[in-house]
């Protein structure tokens, strides 16, 4: 799709299909031609604001994410550039091969490649003065992105850049003007964010005049990360050289400060370049295989996955992969609905990513090379985010992939000196970012939903060991006191609440496996949230080790390292997803619970209360949809017997906080979590408490959603009379029978069938408001 202008591009596309439909006779019984889900995906959604997505080329869960980088900022300034690209930037530095999608922290940006003509420059230059380096100006009018493909015109060099990928290989295509001084810059010092000595060592070896191999080691968000590459050119280069900061072997140094035509070099701050002569409109291709194992692994990946130079074939193969993935979830709706929905589906398939070579070797958490035998290793586990909706979505539409993801977590545990399941891990490193141990939620949710293909007993023991690790984030105090004391551990209120939920998922697993003693133990731990509820104020609060509350207390205030993790008391008090009925009891009943919920969505304050926390965004009152702790809250009205209030809130959130522009995601996309929330909410239900195989009813966002399940079954959601005004559920039926509850079971989806809503302009306060209709909670069992 052409840049981000939906109306222009889609109108032109629709006009084309209209012409085709007029002049091409249709076979009887076949639907008229129209845009496919693939053609509705807009990779530019989220590249503006704080979405932190990238527009470049990748395949589903691909190891390579080949995308443009527009800035290299110092760590303290890097927040908006976590994915390397920001839509508002006027210049492009080049194209690197690894990127995060939607994170709130940055790293990666491995092996930046930039084509240039004219004077050789080996430094990036500045945005204020692009001519001082190799970067180039560009325009969104001459830029395009679709799943598996990206192109842009580099204005300063009259070069058209195109790229596509296989799983482990980036494929570049560059069309040059006539020039006696054409170059490719290979910048091994480039990173998504930078500080002194982040790149600790690099090495590059010119194997011949078409093949270059090398590696770099970095110490950034990930403490020790290795990246190996093999770069092959379609055309022999005439000469090559290096720029290495101030460290030059004097006898190789040219007057311009370059080291020319030596076969191998290593060190820091290393940039390489190769030189060509080109004819007008001449095309040069580059294939880049990557690996975390070795240069040989990178070359093997390259030769195995891409033995030819047919760019169009690779682009078409990538498109076919995406077409097949996007068919798993199909909708009827407006063009705007489809663009946001199918882009969301696309975003849910960008992480975790494959992290083993074609021979299944991978670098482990212990920095050793391991040989997987019967699974594909995955990395990038943003679990504090993705346990909520992304991984539950996988249990519906990607069940065959879930065992490999869990096995990847288990080998992480085996290789961990701390004997912990991953917290926030990527590229064979644990970052210890965010809180709790939500890998147990992912494993529990999968097991309880009947997914096997991994050693369940081994997984269970890893869950227990992780949850009893006295060296981790106040767990010793939590187990001793029943809460995490704030005078011993920062963010104690949030950690208490999130540990309690994770413990509940362990209890459910223990119950399913017949481990009664563990079930009782972790059920008691799951009730720990009650220990930090202050009945006087009505909020969850941080408590000191002597049992007194931390003072002073301001429920609106938030700061990093305070009482709450990226939130305040208004946002975190609702974090009892496993026992909403227990929370209702603490608050004094349903009436008071609903009143406080209403106040959450209407209470305004100044930015001074949360200006220290940049992740708090997408605000409706104190509800912060741009950050994960709030994302289940709109569904809680159901537990108080007022599902029509949930319907109002979901409608409000979806209409006001999502759109099809670069700023169309109201906070970090977070490796698919924000998109998974949107997908579930569009379908009309949401997994409030993963580990409980039920989905709480919300409000359908489109007239029809069809899930094509891996087991061959089809599940269809329909919403009759849905319109911008008809936002309230009048009645609902499951497989033709009235739905008596404000939730549906996981098995009902997997068995196939239909969920039908009838919508209207006014709330039906009788629908599913009775006690017997409410979603289950720990205290209601």
pLDDT in tens, 447-461: 999 999 999 999 999
Name residue 136's beta-bridge partners: 92
pLDDT attached to residue 247: 56
CA 410 to chain centroid, in Å, comes to 21
pLDDT attached to residue 32: 42
657-674 pLDDT tens trace:
999 999 999 999 999 999
Per the CB < 8 A criterion, the answer to whether 655 and 336 are in contact is no
246-265 pLDDT tens trace:
555 545 567 777 889 999 99
Distance of alpha carbon 572 from alpha carbon 581, whole angstroms: 16
- Which of 431-445, 546-560, 578-592 has the lowest average pLDDT? 546-560
Single pTM value for the model? 0.94
Write out the two tokens for 660: 């099809």
Of the candidates 143, 163, 139, the one whose C-alpha atom is nearest the C-alpha of residue 57 is 163
pLDDT attached to residue 252: 58
Place of tokens 């911008």: 724
- Which residue ranges make up each domain of the chain? 1-35, 41-322, 578-781
Please determine, for residue 22, whether its predicted confidence score (pLDDT) is greater than 60.
no
Write out the two tokens for 769: 């408001």
CATH class, range 578-781: alpha beta
Beta 159-165 vs 112-117: how paired, if at all?
unpaired
pLDDT band (50, 70, 90) for residue 26: very low
581-616 pLDDT tens trace:
999 999 999 999 999 999 999 998 877 766 667 778
Residue 544, Cβ density class (10 Å: 0-12 exposed, 13-18 middle, ≥19 buried): middle
Per the CB < 8 A criterion, the answer to whether 297 and 227 are in contact is no
CA 247 to chain centroid, in Å, comes to 39
Per the CB < 8 A criterion, the answer to whether 743 and 696 are in contact is yes
Distance of alpha carbon 638 from alpha carbon 692, whole angstroms: 16
pLDDT band (50, 70, 90) for residue 197: confident
CATH class, range 41-322: mainly beta
Mean pLDDT, residues 718-722 taken together:
98
Per the CB < 8 A criterion, the answer to whether 62 and 675 are in contact is no
Phi, psi of 316, rounded to the nearest 5 degrees: -70, -40
468-526 pLDDT tens trace:
999 999 999 999 999 999 999 999 999 999 999 999 999 999 999 999 999 999 999 99
Please determine, for residue 685, whether its predicted confidence score (pLDDT) is greater than 60.
yes
pLDDT attached to residue 250: 46
């Amino acid at each position: 799709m052409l840049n981000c202008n939906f109306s222009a591009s889609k109108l032109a596309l629709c006009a084309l299909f209209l012409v085709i439909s007029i002049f091409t006779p249709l076979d009887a019984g076949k639907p008229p031609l129209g845009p496919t889900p693939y053609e509705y995906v807009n990779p530019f959604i989220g590249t503006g604001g704080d979405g932190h997505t990238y527009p470049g080329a990748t395949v589903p869960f691909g190891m390579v994410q080949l995308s443009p980088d527009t800035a290299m900022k110092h760590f303290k300034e890097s927040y908006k550039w976590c994915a390397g690209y920001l839509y508002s930037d006027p210049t492009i530095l080049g194209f690197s091969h690894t990127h995060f999608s939607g994170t709130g922290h940055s790293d990666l940006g491995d092996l930046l490649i930039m084509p240039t003509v004219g004077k050789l420059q080996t430094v990036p230059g500045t945005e204020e003065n692009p001519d001082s380096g190799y970067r180039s100006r560009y325009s969104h009018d001459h830029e395009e992105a679709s799943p598996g493909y990206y192109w842009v015109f580099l204005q300063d060099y009259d070069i058209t850049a195109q790229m596509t990928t296989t799983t482990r290989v980036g494929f570049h295509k560059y069309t040059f003007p006539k020039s006696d001084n054409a170059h490719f810059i290979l910048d091994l010092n480039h990173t998504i964010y930078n500080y002194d000595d982040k790149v600790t060592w690099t090495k590059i070896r010119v194997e011949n005049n078409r093949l270059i191999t090398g590696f770099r080691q970095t110490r950034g968000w990930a403490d020790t990360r290795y990246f190996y590459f093999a770069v092959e050119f379609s055309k022999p280069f005439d000469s090559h050289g290096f720029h290495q900061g101030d460290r030059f072997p004097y006898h190789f140094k040219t007057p311009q400060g370059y080291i020319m035509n030596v076969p191998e070099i290593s060190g820091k701050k290393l940039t390489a370049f190769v030189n060509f002569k080109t004819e007008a409109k001449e095309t040069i291709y580059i294939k880049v295989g990557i690996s975390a194992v070795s240069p040989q692994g990178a070359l093997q990946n390259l030769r195995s996955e891409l033995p030819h130079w047919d760019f169009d074939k690779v682009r078409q193969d990538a498109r076919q992969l995406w077409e097949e993935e996007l068919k798993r979830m199909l909708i009827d709706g407006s063009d705007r609905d489809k663009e946001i929905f199918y882009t969301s589906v696309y975003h849910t398939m960008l992480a975790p990513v494959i992290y083993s070579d074609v021979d299944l070797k991978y670098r482990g958490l212990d920095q050793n090379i391991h040989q997987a035998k019967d699974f594909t290793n995955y990395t990038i586990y943003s679990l504090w985010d993705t346990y909520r909706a992304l991984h539950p979505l996988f249990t519906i539409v990607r069940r065959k992939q879930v065992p490999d993801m869990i096995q990847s977590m288990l080998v992480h545990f085996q290789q961990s000196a701390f004997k912990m399941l991953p917290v926030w891990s990527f590229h064979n490193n644990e970052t210890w970012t965010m809180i709790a141990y939500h890998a147990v939620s992912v494993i529990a949710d999968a097991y309880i939903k009947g997914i096997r293909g991994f050693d369940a007993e081994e997984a269970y023991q890893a869950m227990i060991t992780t949850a009893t690790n006295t060296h981790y984030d106040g767990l010793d105090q939590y187990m001793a006191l029943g809460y995490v004391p704030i005078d011993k551990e920062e963010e104690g209120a949030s950690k208490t609440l999130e540990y309690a939920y994770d413990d509940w998922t362990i209890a459910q697993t223990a119950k399913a496996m017949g481990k009664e003693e563990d079930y009782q133990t972790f059920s008691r731990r799951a009730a720990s949230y009650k220990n930090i509820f202050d009945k006087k104020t009505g909020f969850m609060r941080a408590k000191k080790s002597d049992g007194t509350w931390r003072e002073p207390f301001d429920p609106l205030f938030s700061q990093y390292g305070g009482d709450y993790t990226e939130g305040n008391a208004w946002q975190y008090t609702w974090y009892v997803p496993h026992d909403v009925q227990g929370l209702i009891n603490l608050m004094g009943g349903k009436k008071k619970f609903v009143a406080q919920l209403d106040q959450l969505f209407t209470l305004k304050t100044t930015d001074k209360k949360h200006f220290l926390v940049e992740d708090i965004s997408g605000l409706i009152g104190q509800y912060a949809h741009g950050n994960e702790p709030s994302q289940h809250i709109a569904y809680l009205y159901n537990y108080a017997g007022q599902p029509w209030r949930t319907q109002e809130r979901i409608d409000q959130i979806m209409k006001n906080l999502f759109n099809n522009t670069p700023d169309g995601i109201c906070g970090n996309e977070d490796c698919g979590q924000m998109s998974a929330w949107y997908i579930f909410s569009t379908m009309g239900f949401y997994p409030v408490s993963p580990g409980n195989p039920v989905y709480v009813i919300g409000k359908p966002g489109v007239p029809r959603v069809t899930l094509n399940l891996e087991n061959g079954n089809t599940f269809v959601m329909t919403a009759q009379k849905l319109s911008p005004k008809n936002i309230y559920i009048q009645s609902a039926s499951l497989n033709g029978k009235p739905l008596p509850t404000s939730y549906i079971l996981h098995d009902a989806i997997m068995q196939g069938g239909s969920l039908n809503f009838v919508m209207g302009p006014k709330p039906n306060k009788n629908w599913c408001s009775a006690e017997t209709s409410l979603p289950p909670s720990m205290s209601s069992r």
